[in-house]
Amino acid sequence: MSAETTSTETADRDSNDTDQNINTEVTGGRLVTDGGTSFTTDHTVFDVQPGLTDGLDDAQTLLADLVSIPSTSGEESAAAERLCQFFQSHGRDAWIDAVGNVRAPADDSVLLTSHIDTVPGDVPVKIENGVLWGRGSVDATGPLAAMAVAAVDTGVSFAGVVREETTSAGAWHLIENRTPPETVINGEPSGWDGITLGYRGFLSGTYVATSELGHSSRPEDNAIQSAVNWWSSVAAFFESEDSTDTDGVFETVTTKPVTFDGGPTEDGLVVESTVDVQFRIPPQYTIEDVREVAEGELSDGSVHWEKPIPPVMKSPRTDVARAFRVAIRSAGGEPRLLRKTGTSDMNIFSGAWNCPMATYGPGDSDLDHAPNEHLDLAEYDSAISVLIDVCDRLTSSETKTSTVTDPKTESETQQHHTNNTHEHAEPDPEPTRV
């Protein structure tokens, strides 16, 4: 990492964050069973198999410890402390910033980042036949731990962010209080041989309408009918749009009402209705496109919109995507390029930082939030090896002056010509929709 990057990150830390100081030698914390680590943050642990970490190496122990610590959104402090201790035990500076992110800046050629929080769920933590079971083992503690290990091994920057499962407060804080890195690798489960390049965007809002209370025999629509009519019109518009010229769920706008409430007010004079709605937005639409349609269908009432998350679709021809393909093939795999129908913090990073990025991590995303969430430790180890290989390629002096060569594609000279003449001509596989 350059001296300039180091000083900027340190300045960000000093001027914008109220940091939580972590002392790895503290003895006053409560001794817990997750790795025998002493914590300054009092916390509970899941139902953990006795001797869970016996026979595990350092990287696997970190993963097992983090999975053993409940870390639902807003309750990540103990897991964040364990992450800081891991970095400090390997001679790396690390701290917890004002919103709870773990910051470990170093070589900003690459920023490895994943989220610390998980969804709720008490899944007993155990290892059976080389498979770790527990909440977050896939989404996204497995990718988080793999990135921490790779960051220590290669000397690249790391950030563990909070509240991705709810407000993405950690990612928003990071882009507002950090200079852009040269490359971002975001951590989410893709399988050790998968590279995620696209996510749909996210827009949520609340519709509100009121009307005078009258006898039900009156022909005029009341506020409840207005809410039903509005949402039906919005959903019908996108269903009609999605029925033509689309290729699977990824390229459609998904519309979902998530809560619906309505009825007379306590004084009996007015009927009120509220509908909380969500949209998943593919890259061919903008946030404003969807807002314009939704507001154009209003006949009564209004919509209050929450902070949106834009869609993202990255090229498979960036240095980071090529480095992943080379590293996965070198490890004996066949790379899979993925597009996911959900949303991740990569959407936020892409909207703020104009740099190459991709999302990667061990685990089967079908197990996200599932009661049987589990991760094969062999896959976890393979993902670490791939991440180390990718970071080594992206931080090498040769890579910084030329692109990474993928032996399964055309020459770099041809690729450069292709990129400047016809964007879709390179014979890379089409990303799979997940």
The type of residue at 198 is: G
Domain boundaries in the chain? 3-199+312-398, 201-305
Chosen CATH of 3-199+312-398 out of 3.40.50.2300, 3.20.20.30, 3.40.630.10, 3.20.20.70: 3.40.630.10
Question: Would you place residue 3 in the very low, low, confident or very high pLDDT band (cuts 50, 70, 90)?
Answer: very low
Q: Is residue 234 predicted with pLDDT exceeding 50?
A: yes
Summary mean pLDDT of the chain: 84
- pLDDT of the residue at 295: 97
Which pLDDT tens digit goes with each residue over 250-305?
Answer: 999 999 999 999 999 888 789 999 999 999 999 999 999 999 999 999 999 999 99
Amino acid 372: pLDDT: 95
Pick the residue with more confidence: 408 or 92?
92
Active site residues: 117, 164
**Confidence class for position 34, pLDDT limits 50, 70, 90:** very low
pLDDT category, 248, cuts 50, 70, 90?
A: confident
What pLDDT digit, counting tens, does each position of 56-86 carry? 999 999 999 999 999 999 999 999 999 999 9
Contact 192, 383 (CB under 8 A): yes
- If one compares 253 and 27, the residue with the highest pLDDT of the two is 253
Percent of the chain beyond pLDDT 70? Answer: 78
Q: Is the pLDDT of residue 14 over 50?
A: no
- Lowest mean pLDDT of 1-10, 144-153, 226-235, 360-369, name the range: 1-10
Q: Selecting from 3.30.499.10, 3.40.50.300, 3.30.70.360, 3.90.1150.10, what CATH number does the domain 201-305 have? A: 3.30.70.360
